[in-house]
Each structure stands twice: as structure tokens, then as C-alpha cells.
Structure 1
Amino acid sequence: MKKIKIKCKNKLKSLKLKWKVFAYLLGFCGIFITILWTFQVLFLEEFYIQVRKVEVNKAIDAVNETFMTDEMFTVINDLAQNQEIFVTILDSYNNVLYGEAMSSRFEHLYQINLPQNNKNKQQTIRFNQTLITEDGVQYELYFNALLSPVAATVSTLGVQLLYITVIMIIFSIILALFIAKRISSPIEQLNERAKALAKGNYEPTFNGMGFKEISELSDTLNYTTAELSKVENLRKELIANISHDLRTPLTLITGYAEMMRDLPDENNVENAQIIIDETTRLTTLVNDLLDLSKLQSGALQLSLSTFNFTASIKSVIKRVNELVKKEGYHIEFQYEEELTILADEVKLSQVFYNLLINAIHYTGPEKKVVVVQTQHDQQVKIQVIDFGEGIEESQLPYIWQRYYKIDKTHKRAIAGTGIGLSIVKQIVELHSGQYGVNSKVGEGSTFWFSVPQQ
């Protein structure tokens, strides 16, 4: 039995949505028809008898309330004429006090109430009750409710229900097919286009119609398609830019090495230093790519220690100054006091280094960068301010995303790798810190990050 149930469940799961909807609607129709046949045919007589018993009980209460009053006869007449419930009243000597005085239309019916005369074979429900008045007189009340034959009614209902069953099954099949198609058709279209999306085809658009949920799903998939398309384009740009950044130092290293080999006069310290610098640049690029990969995969762990954060900032500024001072760049550091924090010194130095190199790259003709250190509510904040062209407001929410690049024309940076902001985002989040950028077109940008002191 368990194997059969499992097979049935597996078959039901393998059905398409439209056939599941079809099966559910037909099942509902079948249950409804079964209930209808059960109550209208099989148990009709039982229900009818129970209803008549309730009516007789109410009649007994009505007669008891009006017993031996003028209103009693009116109540008894109404019961006989409207509900076919007949009442016979006998005294203690079995004399009929009420029952024979009725009209000839009901006279023969009242005869069956008498205990000594019951020749009528029609089905009835009978109740009797003994009442004793205040003066000690005893009365017997007999209630006789006729039961109408239900066999003919059941037969008639059976024929009617047969027609109703056929009509409902046909109607349910048509309705089930219509609803199933209406629901499944847009989902099947979305499914086919989603398969194309999974293969890297971002051109199809999702047009879900008919239901609010399908329309919302369609909008979500369209948004996802647009975002994936952007990411794919940015990824291609990043690969092209990184390929350029990798090829440039390799070309220089090869060129200078061949020159030093072929021309003895060029075998000097200056050319050797160029090769060393380009090798360092290449190593930095590869290390940054590895760090970004580790950060995004969650494989990189922080090495926390307490250190002088201000001194670390000064050290990075000094190192960068050595790289850019020949180009005329000036870096200004503003702070009120030296601050100590608990963090990963190497990683936070990398965060600041990447922001500083980014500012130098975009600072504009003034070639000035301002670094500001502040402290508030146990949070240390570093701001790196450049005075370049600035960033459009519409682009600000996206600059921290993977592969995003504001300047679509790639040029070789003075230092760094061009993927610094992605690394900044990941490292600051690992420190439970915050990051952001404020910018105005034509005035420059302020990149900042803050981390807890403890």
C-alpha cells in the first residue's frame, strides 16, 4: 500500500500545472456530487423523519402552553391544517374530549389516535402525554403526525440528480480546462524564456499577463534580466581592462629585458628598476584579484589586533607619496588625535590605500587629495576627498557593485589595479563597518568608511 501511495504521489508531482488544476477541479466536482447524492437520495427519509419529530415536539409545547384555554382549539386546528399533526384529548375514562368535533375532512384521521382503534396503515409518528390539572383531573394527549411517502420523491430526485451530475461533470471539465490553460499558459511562457535566460540570452522579455502574481514575477524576471545583462557587460569590460593591465607590465618587462640583452650599454640600474617596478605592479594586480575572490567567497578571515590606526594611515600616505610626488600630487592629512582600534591592520590599510589611489586617479588638475580622520560614538571615520569631476547622482548607488566602472575609457592608473572599491566594500563589511560616497558633478567626491574602535 505504501509503495502504491508513493507512486501516486510521484505521478501527481510529475504532472504539469494545468493537469494538476484540472484534476483538482474534477476532484472537487466529484466530492460535491457525492455529497449531493448522499443527502438528497440516500439519507432523505432519515432527514425527513427527524424534521417531523422536531415539528411534533414544537406542537406538544404549543398545546401545553395553551391547554384548556380558548386558544388551545385554534392551535390544534392550525396544527392539523398546516402541518398535518393531529391531536386527540381523552379524559381519565378514555372519553374523547377533542377529536370528534373536527370537520369530516379530518375525522377519519383522528380515529387513529385512539388506542383502541388503529386500523390505518399509513406511516405516522406518534407521541402521547399525560397532563394532570390543579384540581387532580387527568388527561391523555395523543399527537399523530403523518409521514408523506418519500419513495416517489427519492426516485424523482434520483432522476434529477442524474441529469445534474452529467451537466456538472461536462461543465466542470470545460471550466477546468479553461482555468488550467489560463493559469499554466503564461507560466509556461515564462519558463521557456527563463531557460533562454539561463543559457545567457538576455534579449527575451517576460510578458506575464492574467494574474497579479504572474505579472509581478514577470517584472522581477525582467529586472533580473536587465541586472544580469549589466553584470555580464561589466564583467567583459573588467576582463578586457585587467587583460590590458596584465599585458602592459609584461610587455614592458619583455621589452626592457630584450633591450638589456641585445644592447650592453642599456644594461644599467635604471632599466633594471623599471623591470622591478613593473613586476611589483603585476604582483599587486594578481594579489588584489586573489583578495577580491577570497572576500567574495567568504574564505578570507580577519586577523584582529589592537594598533595605532592614525599611524597606519600616515604610513600608507607616506608610501603613496613616494609613488606620486614626481607627478606633482599633494596629499593632506587632517586629524585631531591619534586613535587606537581593534581590527585587521593589513586589511584596513588596504581599504585606505585603495580609496587614496582612487582619489589620486580622479582628483583632477589640482592634484590635491585631503584625508580627514574623525571619531564619534566609538566609531572611527576616514574621509578621502578629491577635487575632480565628481560622479553623477544616478551612478552613486552602483559604484560599489562588482565590475562597475564609471569611466568607460580605460586608462592605466598611477598605482593600484582598478578594482579597489569592490575590495573596500568587502573588507569594511567584514569589520561590521559602514562605507559610502558623497559627490557633486564639477566639485569632486568624498569617499568614506567607518569602523568600530573595539
Structure 2
Amino acid sequence: MSRYYPMKKKAWFLFLLFLVIVAGLVASVTFYLYENLYLEGESGYLEEQILTLQDLYDSGDMEIFEERLNWTIESTPMEAIVSSDPMMLGAAIPLADPEDELVINQIERNRLLNGEVITIMRDHGALNERILGKVAPVMESGYLDAVIILYRPVAEIQTAFYQILPFVVIIGSLFVLLLFIVMKRVQKEFISPITELEHVSKELSKGRFDTPIDIHVENELSDLAVSFKQLADALAQEEEKKRAFIQNISHELRTPLSYIQGYSELLENHCKEQAISTEYATIIHKEAHRMNRLVNQLIDLTKLEKANEDEIEFSPLVLSEIIEDAVRNTALKRQEKQQTIELHLDEELIVNGTEDRLLQIFINLLDNATCYTEPKSHIFVQASKREKSAVVEVRDNGQGISQEQLPFLTERFFRVEKSRSRAEGGVGIGLSIVKQIVDLHHGQLTFDSVEGEGTTVTIELPLYNEM
């Protein structure tokens, strides 16, 4: 069971909640407009008219007063009552006939006696609707002489709302449509891509690195999709390397094990001559040594891939001395192939590093130069200063390497020629180790080669006093 609601459901829930809030706001605004604009406007208009009539009545020109009163009744939805009946004024004032309900209570009558214009709003039984009115007193010698009542029916809130309902529906529909379009856009631009990335991540976790990423937007999520694709490609490459590694290591270990098993059986069951026994024992020893070297290289490579510079003790080292040690350690192989070597070393070059690891670099490079160069050939080694770096070049005049294969030289188990016998070289781990060591020393490893002319390996290491 999911611990949370999916983003898509949350988005639509917020959409519906927003619609409810908007509907509430529309109702509230309608009520506010009714109370504060419609009723106030009508009340103000009534007061303006009744004050005019009150002034005309006070002036004593009843003919002009009657004309104005009739005009007001005929030209507006207002009704008017003018009463000077002492009985009515002494008790209460009905709107129309004596049997109708009284609309002026005692408190309002007292305000009239004080000369105030009062506002009345209440339901009128005879009219069967709500009325809004103004009552103006006419005072004579401090006494209430007459009253002028001006009133009109006013629409209820429902009626007012029904009047503006078409406009509310149109505007609300447009707003909902706009909000729906925005919501669909948000779903397309953000929610759907996130859901797709979640699906892809689950597929990647299952090892399905070829899962397509179906995202067609142009925003940050499209960049994230590209990163996901690059991650999937990198994982797929690593998975392929892992398979190749298992195949290669199985093959590399199977061959010496087959030799050891086969020749040991011959020694045990069939071999009686000392010379043959010695030959078989030599083969067994050689293959066991090769298998041991392979295992040591794998362990070494694994350590280097996980290592960081904090775990390695660096110290100032004279680079020429390390190269000379590597030359001495590899001299026997060159002598067997009658190869010569030429050294041009700057003895003032000092680098910050580990002696064993740097020695491992140059032994590996010199071994490769010897293995892949013809007998009686020449190897050239130069160490010089270039700006703030020490640059070491190891050049041979061997078979050379194609430009297409140069970028793969430091990959594990990569061989330039698959058909080369293992007697001519290692298993394809040496340059991977060299690359890891150079990286740990903040250096650079580059290759330059021309087929049929030879290969140059260049290592650039920071100088000690420049670090």
C-alpha cells in the first residue's frame, strides 16, 4: 500500500478544491455587492428624492409638491404616502390601507418626532415582497405635522443573484476552462514526465537499462530525462563491461588451469623421463605464475579504483631515479630480444608521489614497449620539464596502433589485437592500472601512434614545487 497519494491525484484534488473556493468567493462577492452597493445605492436615491419632497412640502407650495410627487411615482418604481392625519400620526403609520400591517414602530416614531429621516426595510404582507423606504417628518412649531413616506420593492438576494447568474456562469465557465487548460498543461509539462521518470527508475533498478524514456517537453525535466538516459547508457556499458570481465577472467583463468591440470596428470600417470618431467614442471610453474600475476593485477586494480589520495603517502621523489630503476628491472626482457634503449632524463625533476606506484607505471610502459616491438628495435625514453609539469615520453618503433583503438587502451582487458598470443603481452589490465595511478597523482596519460611506425606514451605529472 502506497504511503502517499500519487502526484496526479493530488493535483486534481487541488483543482477541485480550488473550484469550491472560487464558488464560495463568487457567492460571497455577490452578497457583498447586494448589501453594500445595490441596497446602499437604492437607499441613497430614495433619500435624495424624499429630501426634495420634504423641502417642497415645507415651502408650502402644494401644487409644485404634488407635481413632483406624481412625477416621482410615475417615472420610478417608487410608491409614496403623504399623511397628516392626527390619528395616524399619533399612533403608527401604515403603508397603504388601515388594515395593512404597521411599518413604523415606536422607536422609529420617536426619531421622526426628533426631525430625523428614517430608513425602513421589512417584508410587506400586502405586497408580498421586501420593501426599502425612507420616511421624512414635516415639523410645525416643534410638533409632527405630517410624514412623507417614499418606498419601493427591492429584489431579494436570490433574485439579484439570478439576475447576474448568466454573467457569473459565463465568467465562471471561462475561468474553469482556463484553469483546466492550465491543469492539463501542468500535467503534461511536469506531472507526466515525473511519473515517467519514476517508471524508468524502477525499470533501471531491475537491470532493464534499455527502457525508453518517453518525455516530450522542453524544460528542466527534459534535461533530467537526458541525464537519466546518460545514466542508463553508463549503467548498460558497465553491465556490458562486467559481462566481458567475467568472460575474460574465466578464459584467462581457464587456460592456465587447463595446463596445470593436464601436465600434472601427465606427471602423475605417464611421465618416467626426468627431462620431460622437468619440462612439464616448468610449464606448470609458468602457468601458475601467470595466473598469480593476473590475480595480483586484479586485486591491484580494484584497490586503485577505490583508493583516494588521502589513503596514499606522498613524498618528494627524483623522477629520473625512478625511471632508471624501471629500466634496470626490465633490462632482461630487452636483452632477450636484443633491443636497445636511449634515455634523456632531466635529473632535476622532482614530483610528489609514491615510489612503488610510479615505478609500477614505468615498468609497465617499458614492458609494453618491449613486448610489442620487434627484436633488435629501439626504445626511446625522455623526461623533461614543461611549464609546471614533468613530462615523460616512452616511444617505440613497433607495430603502432590505429587511431580508432587509442581511446580504449586504458579499458580493462582491452587488447589492440585479439589474435595476439599471451606470450606477447599481458591480459589487458596493465594500462588500466597505469591510468588509475596517474589519476591519483593528478597527472595526465595520453597516447600517440602511427601504424607501422610506432607508439608514444606521454605522462604528465605536476612538479613538487608547483603543487
Q: What TM-score range do you get, normalising by the shorter chain? A: 0.5 to 0.7
Establish whether residue 40 from structure 1 lines up as the match of residue 30 from structure 2.
Answer: yes
Query: Taking structure 1 as the reference length, what is the TM-score of the superposition?
Result: 0.65
State the partner residue of 1:25: 15
Task: Structure 1: give runs of 5+ residues left out of the alignment.
Answer: 1-9, 57-79, 89-93, 110-114, 126-145
Give, as a single letter, the amino acid of the residue that structure 2 aligns with 1:385.
Answer: R
User: Which of 162, 175, 188 is the matching residue for 1:156?
Assistant: 162
Deviation of 1:279 after TM superposition, in Å, equals 3.8
DSSP-derived class of the 2:239 partner: helix
- 2:429 aligns with 419
On the 8 A contact 1:354/1:424 being kept in 2, the answer is yes
Give SS of 2:25's match: helix
Give yes or no for the alignment of 1:239 onto 2:246: yes
**What SS does structure 2 have at the residue aligned with 1:14?**
coil
**One of 205, 208, 217 as aligned partner of 2:212:** 205
Task: Check the 8 A contact 1:17/1:180 in 2, yes or no.
Answer: no
Please tell me whether the aligned partners of residues 197 and 225 of structure 2 are also in contact (alpha carbons under 8 angstroms): yes
Deviation for aligned residue 1:17: 3.3
Output the CA distance in 2 between the equivalents of 1:311 and 1:288. Answer: 24
Give the direction of change, closer, same or farther, for the CA distance of 1:249–1:151 in structure 2 (3 Å limit).
closer
Q: Which has the larger radius of gyration?
A: 2
Q: Deviations over 1:232-273 (max 9, x none)?
A: 333333333333333344444555555666334227877666
CA distance in 1, matches of 2:245, 2:317: 35
Q: Does 1:14 align with 2:4?
A: yes
C-alpha displacement of 1:218:
4.7
Cα–Cα, structure 1 residues 230 and 342, in superposed 2: closer, same or farther, change >3 Å? Answer: closer
Who is 2:296 aligned against? 287
* Residue identity opposite 1:453 in structure 2: L
Whole-angstrom distance in 2 between the partners of 1:316 and 1:179: 67
How far residue 435 of structure 1 moved from its aligned partner, in angstroms, is 2.5
Deviates more, 1:441-450 or 1:253-262: 253-262
Give the count of matched residue pairs. Answer: 393
CA deviation string 1:42-98 (max 9, x = no partner): x3346538997xxx9xxxxxxxxxxxxxxxxxxxxxxx9xxx89999xxxxx99xxx
5+ residue gaps, structure 2, are 53-57, 79-113, 122-131, 135-151
Given the alignment of the two structures, is residue 318 of structure 1 paired with residue 339 of structure 2, yes or no?
Answer: no
| 2:117 is the alignment partner of 1:118 | yes
RMSD: 5.4
- For 1:420, give the aligned amino acid: G
Distance (Å, rounded) in 2 between the aligned partners of 1:330 and 1:51: 112
Letter in 2 for 1:20: K
- Taking the aligned partners of 2:354 and 2:445, their CA distance within structure 1 comes to 17
Flag the 1:162–1:51 CA change in 2: closer, same or farther, 3 A.
closer
* Letter matched to residue 7 of structure 2: L
- Aligned counterpart in structure 2 of residue 437 of structure 1, from 447, 453, 456: 447
Using CA pairs below 8 Å that are at least 6 residues apart, which structure has the higher relative contact order? 1
Cα 1:121–1:19 shift into 2, 3 Å: closer
Cα displacement string for residues 327-370 of structure 1 (whole angstroms, at most 9, x for unaligned residues):
34444332232533331111111122233334444456884432
Q: CA deviation at 1:372?
A: 1.8
Q: Which residue of 2 aligns with 1:129?
A: none
Deviation of residue 203 (structure 1)?
A: 4.5
1:418-441 C-alpha deviation (Å, 9 max, x unpaired): 212222222222222233333455
**Of 256-265 and 287-296, the range deviating more from structure 2:** 256-265
Q: Report the AA paired with residue 240 of structure 1.
A: Q
1:276 and 1:309, CA in 2 relative to 1: closer, same or farther beyond 3 A?
Answer: farther
Percent identical residues: 28
